[in-house]
A and B are shown apart, each in its own frame.
Chain A
Amino acid sequence: SQTIHQWPATLVQPVGSPLSLECTVEGTSNPNLYWYRQAAGRGLQLLFYSVGIGQISSEVPQNLSASRPQDRQFILSSKKLLLSDSSFYLCAWTVGGGDGYTFGSGTRLTVV
């Protein structure tokens, strides 16, 4: 069966520190992978998506970046965190252009 793993679940980081959030998918090949951000009281905001290894499309040009070093691995990074990066980050996957996403359990990031 297909599963998605996202870690860590919670993270507290100082302003200016680097960030690395990881997401892996099991049980499927060549998934479309997504990073979303969800702020309180707001809809999910698409940050990045990838349809293949090394291919990244950015929807929100900020101090965040994404990479896909392997078929089922998606990484969200930042070189220097800002206070405004505090949010709930979600990884998701689909296969092709089909049905709804399967989301990971999310990472609550607090920048202090």
Chain B
Amino acid sequence: EDQVTQSPEALRLQEGESSSLNCSYTVSGLRGLFWYRQDPGKGPEFLFTLYSAGEEKEKERLKATLTKKESFLHITAPKPEDSATYLCAVRPSGGYQKVTFGTGTKLQVIP
């Protein structure tokens, strides 16, 4: 069974204090790993897809990286508007419908 574990569950940062969120996964052949941002009471918003180990993608202050066992979401010099829950998910190569989500990391950036 595919599994996704995200850590930490919650993270509190001062504005400008860079950090990383972790997503550890086990999957029977990785078709894609996804990162989403979710604001309270709203649906998740797609950020990145990573397909193979060594791949990196960036968007503003966010940078996602991928290894064979985990993915990191690096947040550089965060701002209060980056406060949200960040979700990680994996899709196996054999069943493209079977996406497994982690429980997320709730990020709070203090001004």
Contacts and interface: CB of A to CB of B under 8 A. Distances in A.
Interface of A: 6, 32, 34, 41-44, 46, 49, 51, 57, 90, 92, 97, 99-106, 108
B91 to A, nearest CB: 8
A101 B99 contact: yes
Given A42-B103, A43-B104, A97 B96 contact: yes
Q: Is the interface of B mostly helix, strand, loop or mixed?
A: strand
Contacts of B100: 43
A57 B97 CA distance: 10
Contacts, number: 55
Which 5 residue pairs across A and B have the least CB separation, nearest first?
A103-B43, A97-B96, A43-B101, A100-B34, A44-B101
Interface of B: 4, 31-32, 34, 36, 41-46, 49, 87, 89, 91, 96-104
Contact of A106 (B41, B87, B103): B41
Given A32-B97, A42-B103, 14 more contacts: A34-B97, A41-B103, A43-B4, A44-B87, A97-B91, A99-B49, A100-B34, A100-B46, A100-B49, A101-B44, A103-B36, A103-B44, A106-B41, A106-B43
